[in-house]
Amino acid sequence: MGNIFGRFLLRIGPILTLFRRNPAQHRFYYVPSAHGRRWKRALLLSPILLSLFFIAAGPGGRAISKALMTRITEMFSDPLLLFAERSPGGRGPGALLSTKTGLKPHERVLSSVRDRPDVPPEAGSPVFSTPQALESPADTLPGQAGGPPTSGPPFSNTPFFYPGPPPEGAPPPGTPPGGTPPGGTPPQGPPDTPTTPPTGPPPDTIPIPEPATWLMLVAGIVAIGAAARRRRFN
Amino acid sequence: MSVYFRSLMLVAVAGLAAALLRWALPQCPGCKAPPPIAAAAPAREPAPGIRIWYPASNYPRLSLPDGRQETVRSILNITKPMSFGDFVWNTDRVPAGPVWVRIDLTRQLLSVFRGGHEIGSSVILYGTDGKSTPTGSFTILEKDADHYSRSYDAPMPYMLRLTQDGVAIHGSNVRQGWATHGCIGVPLDFARLLFGVADKGDPVVILTAGPGTRKSESPRHRVG
């Protein structure tokens, strides 16, 4: 027990020697021992660390951390990201071809009875056509069908998801129509069509700490830097 | 021992002292614990895990191919990849509202939204490369619970017709490696549920990230 106390005194002692009074000079003087210097710096640093802790644990710090957390959760709860999570994956170009059952690859689908064009004829066809009258029966041939199949503007060039309000303009009408061209090449949209950048709603205002808090923070950082500089030059 | 370690030690000692002081001091009679706020709030949202509710201040929006945007208030919480033939349907605490259907060919998914809340999701079959499913915005033109296709000589139960030339959403045997001739095939039970919810004139959006999507590419990297 006594040994422990003695060791504690040995540890603590230099702190006391820091402020030892010299009766000859009648003023406090500094004892230049490395151990004491470190303790003095620790004493200087601890209120700074305490203030940093209270800044972080205070309402401002909590609000900042809460805003960060909500931002992170929003980032992870993007619907398209969640759709990608639950998706079984995309279908590759050769996914329907089976090369194991025979020499000739074949598609495991129903036999080709009809021939339906898979590309809409015009690019400027109406996007949301009014429901036409159902004069044509269920599975009419394309020659007998009334009009071209409704189709939308290309989707390959426009992003799925904007986190903000809708872009200003719909895709320009001159862009090629969506769907697969007969050649099978992907429709390369003109690269100069600019997609309007997402202009989201203003983010949640992160409460800014008081000027005094900022000053204290800056003073703490300056003190740390000064201590490090002094230590290096010494 | 560095300076920083020493200062941390001092901070810890100060904290311990403060805690001891707080414990030692008697509790003031005036300050009572505030009533729990969480208990007073009405439990409007269902148990977590069924669906993900978005904050009312910041609803995400899904852009449609015609430029419109649909607000999403909540979606089903499905974190594992669904396999072929799987579907999820949940209408608990979802109010009535306009119904729209989002079909994602790239991710092979179909999602049904009612009033901004996703109530169902399923893995789909879609058209082959030679007979691809058209993309764009459609409306449900016709409903037929017991449809029989004359062209293919096959039953297509719970059919929701999208185009005049025969593209529809209908129940089918959803298996990996299978495809359709342009229709959207969903599991039969899901087709029955969807048939009960969707009405004539409800919008259906079929999206794709374009042909040539390889399987090795993750769909999330193709967004935008």
Q: Do A140 and B75 touch (CB under 8 A)?
A: no
- Higher-scoring residue by pLDDT: A59, B82: B82
Amino acid at A15: I
Task: Please check whether residue B25 lies inside any domain of the structure.
Answer: no
Query: Which residues face B74 on adjacent strands?
Result: B53, B117
Pairing verdict, β B184-186 and B168-171: parallel
Distances (CA, A) of B195 to A157, B76, B187: 32, 19, 12
List of chain A residues whose C-beta atoms are within 8 Å of the C-beta of residue B52: 77, 82
Question: Residue B222 gets which letter from DSSP?
Answer: G
Please give the interface size between A and B, counted as residue pairs whose CB atoms are below 8 Å apart: 288
Whether the model clears a pTM of 0.80, i.e. scores above it, the answer is no
Per-residue pLDDT band for A31 (boundaries 50, 70, 90) equals low
Q: Which among A92, A181, A164 is positioned nearest to B69, based on CA atoms?
A: A164
C-alpha–C-alpha distance, residues A110 and B81, integer Å:
27
Distances (CA, A) of B156 to A58, B161, B169, B174, B181: 63, 11, 9, 13, 13
Looking at residues A72-96, what average pLDDT do you find? 80
Compute the Cα dihedral for B166, B172, B173, B177 and give only its sign.
positive
Where is pLDDT greater, at B126 or A160? B126
Indicate which CATH number applies to the domain containing B123.
Answer: 2.40.440.10
**Residues 6 or more apart whose Cβ sits within 8 Å of residue B111:** A83, B75, B101, B102, B103, B104, B118, B120, B121
User: What ipTM score was computed for the predicted complex, to two decimals?
Assistant: 0.71
Q: What does DSSP assign to residue A38?
A: H
Q: What residue ranges do the domains of chain A occupy? A: 33-63+205-233
Residue scoring higher pLDDT (A174 or B19): B19
3-state secondary structure of A12: helix
Which chain B residues are closer than 8 Å to A231 by Cβ? 3
> What pLDDT does B56 receive?
83
Has residue B3 been placed in a domain?
no
**How is residue A121 annotated by DSSP?**
S
A175-193: average pLDDT: 47
Burial of B63 (0-12, 13-18, 19+ CB in 10 A): buried
Interface with chain A: mutation pick from B57, B84, B135, highest number of A CBs within 10 Å: B135
**Nearest Cα residue in chain B from A146:** B164
Taking an 8 Å cut-off on Cβ atoms, the answer to whether B179 and A98 are in contact is no
Residue B196 maps to a domain? yes
In a domain, B41, yes or no: no
Structural domain including B134 reads: 46-222
How many distinct structural domains can be found in chain B? 1
Mutate to test the interface with B, among A83, A125, A231 (most CBs of B within 10 A): A83
Using the beta-carbon criterion (under 8 Å), do B220 and A91 form an inter-chain contact? no
B-chain residue closest to A136, CA distance: B164
Chain B CB contacts of A46 under 8 Å are 7-8, 10-11, 14
Residue B18, in any domain of the structure: no
Name which of A81, A146, A152 is nearest B136 (Cβ-Cβ): A152
Cβ contact, residue pair A145, B67, below 8 Å: no
Chain A interface disruption, residue of B3, B75, B217, most A CBs within 10 A: B3
- Other CB atoms within 10 A of residue B29 CB: 6
Please, what is the average pLDDT of chain A? 64
The answer to whether residue A2 scores a pLDDT higher than 70 is no
